[in-house]
Each structure stands twice: as C-alpha cells, then as structure tokens.
Structure 1
C-alpha cells in the first residue's frame, strides 16, 4: 500500500529534483504540496511547483504556505537558485487550476490528514513554518501522523550562519516547535549533501534520460549549490531517499535543540550526540550515506520521471 505524503517545499533546484522523485515513486501517494517561501519568495515557489506539475503531467493539489517566518525577517537563496528559483529552463505555462482556493497550508494539512485512512508522513524540505503552525493548531492530529522527514540542520558548521543551516535559519522558532512536538522525526542534515555530491558524469547521464533529464541538466548548469564541475549538493533528494530507502543511511538517535536566542548561534541545530544536555532523544539524524548506493538510486529514481 502506498504511503500518504504531504510535502512542504520551496523550489529551488534541489527541491525540483525531490518533487520529481516523490511524484513518480510507486511507493508514495502525494496528497498535497504546500509551497513555502524560502529559496525564493512565495509567488515564485508557488509558480515553480505548478510549473513542475504541469511539465510532469501531474495534478496534485497545491496550497500556498506562509510568505515569511513566524518572527524573523525573510531570507532567500536567490544567489544559489537564480531569481526565479529554477533558472535555466523554459517551462510550460503552469496550470493554476491546481491551487486550492481560499485555503491556507495548516488547514489543508489538517483536512488531508483527517480524510486519509492511513497515517500520513510530512516531508519538510523548506523552512518549517507551515508544519509548525499545523502542529500548534491541530494537536489532535498527532496520532494520525506517521513521521516527519526533514532536510535541515547541520551537525557542525552551517551554510547560512556560522552554525545555522539555511532551512532551519529561515525560521528557527518554527523548527523548535517541530522538534519539541514529540513526533517521530528523521533528519537529513547538511552534511549528507556534502557527502553525496552529483558529479559531472552523473549529470551527463541524467541529461540523456529524455526531456525531463534535459530539464534537470539545464537547471544543474545554473545551480550554485556546490560546483557543476566538482559536484553539486542536491540536499533535498537525500531526505526523499531517507523516506524511500533508509537502509543506505546510518542513523544516530539524539536530542536536537534549536537555538532561538539572538547571537552568533541563532538558528543553530545543536545535535547532542554525547548527551551533554541529558535530554531525551527527539530525532534520528542521518550521519552517513552510502554514496555509491545513493547515486545508483538517484539515477534510477529520476528515470521514472523521464
């Protein structure tokens, strides 16, 4: 039986890869996609979700998420993903009929979860604002949530602040709510993307997969998450891999504390592997990925979308 999924995403080039894999997986039933502001603004991310669905000939309902974080000012990654978030390819005109009218993401999440017979997995590959609001508004849904898969946080240094990873840094207060929810959480941190880079020869193989492969190749040429020449960091695909084929990862159960105090560590995700805080474990952290196995899985997963 297919696993029901709700996706929160901010495409973003690596998000686009994750969306393709999710939508074409025979193991999953994507019930809803929420477009979050993040890599680029909410108008662009919403448009990008619709562009991808139109290209893939999919009709998953889409709902706009929050346009900014709970408290802090918005940040973006335009320098990494381009002004549109998916620069480098001429997409078809998006099908805007897929947008749920007069709905906000937390309410749409609740409606999907309560209408779905099996427990739902939430996949967060953007900031966690919409998921946090949903958890605050509808705690009665917790028993119907299987787990939360997150791309975010870092074991060591960050890629936004000194110790903060971009998705968590986008809304640390929301991330704190999610990690303190008591729900089952699996995390694909920054370091996994640094381990499993998409080298040029892999991009060349993807280019030959057909129209969708050529689209991703064009996006990869413009992507600044790493280097096309030495290897791209496709972070969000690792979160999807964690959901679909967890045996390629090593996990460590630990307590994750999100720093929300102002200062140099604001937005840091403290992963207490040595139990210094003496707090109960609240997440499974992917600490290592079998790179060869991931690359083989990655190519095969994208083939299904081509």
Structure 2
C-alpha cells in the first residue's frame, strides 16, 4: 500500500479523486487535510467529511487547514464548482467532525510517526504544505515526494499563463518548489487531455450508488471542454497507481509570484538559468485511452467497497 497524506479543496474533481482513493486497496490514506481554494475552507472541510461518510471511511482523520493564501487575497472558484463545492447530489448526513488539530500540525504529527517516508498529494493550493515546510523543516526527510495537481507549461486556465491552484497561492507554490523535496507536477499539459466523454459520465450514473453520486456531481461541474469534462485532480491518484500512463520530463520550475504573470510555472527548457539543476518531474503527455478505461473500471470497485461496509 502507498501511505499518503491527501491535501484537498473539494471541489468536484477533488471529490472524484478522493472517491477513487478512498475505495482503492493500494492506497493508505493516513490523513485528509482541507484548504481554501475551490470554495472556502469551511466548505472544503465539510466536503471531505461528506465523502468519508459516504464511503464508510470515518476512521480517517480530517484536519482543517488554511483559510486564505499566505499573502494574497482569497478568491474561490464557486462559479465552476458551485456554491457548496459539491453540488448535484444529496449526501448522507455527516457523522463525524474534523479533528481538533490544524492541518499543518496534523501533517507534522503524521510524518513524525511515519516508519517510512510518505507521499503528500495536493489537489488544491499548496498553502498548508508551504506552512509545513516553513514550520517543520526537520521533517522534510520523512516526505518521499509531493504529487501536485497544478501548473502548466502550455498556458493557464485563470490567466493566459497561470493554472488555478498555483495562481491561488503562488507564494506557497514558490516555497514548495524550492523545498528540495522531490516533486511530480501534474498540470494542465495532461489534465486537459484526460477528458471523460459526456457519454461515459452519463453511463456511470446507472452503476450503483457510487456511480450515481459521481455522475451527478460531474454533471454539475462547470469545467467543460469539447467532447467531455477534464477531471484534473483525478490524475494525481491515477499517476500514483499507473505512472506508466504518463510521460514525464525533468525540469527546473520557477514560480512567478506577482504581476500580470503571477501563478505561472516556468520551466527552464533551454537550461538558461538553472545551471543544470532540476526540481520537478513534469507530466507532459498521457495515454488518454488508458486513463478513461482505468477510470470506468473504478466505479464498480467503489460500489463493491461500499457494499462490503469497509
């Protein structure tokens, strides 16, 4: 099993990614942490609790994280994800609360107790992770790698150059990319290719309660491309389980933290300033057929998992 801390801002594509992770026996979620991003941190925390309740995984601790970026003003993406962040489905009543520890302290305690280095997967802004790096630098050796949904080498989705997660807190992203911890960057270069066709989303709706839930929340998702919907955050979980689906290249990535290009992730593709240094493996292509097939195969697994009452 792959032990992970999952830092999220659900958000519809976060919800779909978490649904897969919660019901996959190869992934061991040690801690779920929330962050402000797609909607406020109160709502993202509640959405994590909704999903752990839905999948009978209330034993996984949920810790509330940062309510705003490190320096800039917070602006959500409710225009894409809806007012609640997970509209379209009537979830069961939440049966647990977030733990008393804040996300950063909870992460630190989990890392300190870890016997083997852990992977931290982030599908929202990187505010919590940056605070962890700043406050607990002695624990960085306990992190095997960061798997980050965010960034782009080919253009942005909130500006001409910036992807939403990095744009939300570019100062945090800058800290993370300079941390020295190995990074896998799963950005728009692949997530905009990993579309789920509309007919596939419709078909999922008839595949049990999990399929119905996924179909309804994905249908409510405001991020639509020609031919389907990009499930950006799902790619982090897919990469963990199927790295062979992805083509990655090693780059030095710099983060632009201010000005009209704030949130841009700049790769030194010509080795002009990085002097041969590398700080990230960047996903640049994906086997889209394999991705769609893999995704569809997860739905019956979710239903079986819920049926068995895990």
Q: Give me the whole-angstrom Cα distance separating, in 2, the residues matched to 1:230 and 1:248.
A: 21
TM-score, length of structure 2 as denominator length: 0.94
Partner residue, 1:190: 188
Q: CA deviation at 1:192?
A: 1.2
Partner SS, residue 235 of structure 1: coil
Match of 2:73 in 1: 73
CA distance in 1, matches of 2:31, 2:269: 34
Q: 1:21 offset after TM fit, Å? A: 1.1
Q: Aligned to 1:67, what secondary structure does the other structure show?
A: coil
Q: Aligned equivalents of 1:203 and 1:251: distance in 2? A: 28
CA contact (8 A) 1:6 1:31 kept: yes
Mapped pair 1:26 → 2:25: yes
For 1:168 and 1:278, how far apart are their aligned partners in 2?
Answer: 21
- After superposition, the C-alpha distances for 1:107-146 in whole angstroms (9 at most, x for unaligned) are 1001111112121100010000000100111111122111
Moved over 4 A (4+): none
Q: Deviation of residue 208 (structure 1)? A: 2.2
Count of residues in correspondence between the two structures: 301
Equivalent residue number for residue 92 of structure 1? 92
Q: Corresponding residue for 1:273?
A: 269
Asked whether 1:7 is paired with 2:6, we answer yes
Gaps of 5+ in 2: 304-310
Could you list the per-position Cα deviations for residues 182-240 of structure 1 after superposition, in whole angstroms to 9, with x for gaps in the alignment?
A: 1110011012121111101211232122101101111121111115x720010000111
In 1, Cα distance between equivalents of 2:185 and 2:86:
25
What pairs with 1:233-272 in structure 2 (closer than 5 Å)?
233-260=230-257, 262-272=258-268
Cα distance in 2 between the residues matched to 1:286 and 1:173: 22
Unpaired segments ≥5 residues, structure 1 = none
The structural deviation recorded for 1:242 is: 1.1
Q: Which residue of 2 aligns with 1:203?
A: 201
Alignment partner, residue 104 of structure 2: 106
Aligned-partner Cα distance in 2 for 1:69–1:206: 36
Q: CA deviation at 1:303?
A: 2.6
- Which residues of 2 match residues 52-71 of structure 1 at below 5 A? 52-59=51-58, 60-71=60-71
SS at match of 1:303: helix
Taking the aligned partners of 1:251 and 1:22, their CA distance within structure 2 comes to: 22
* Alignment match, 1:36: 35
2:42 is aligned with 1:46:
no
Please state how far the C-alpha of 1:248 moved relative to its aligned partner. 0.6
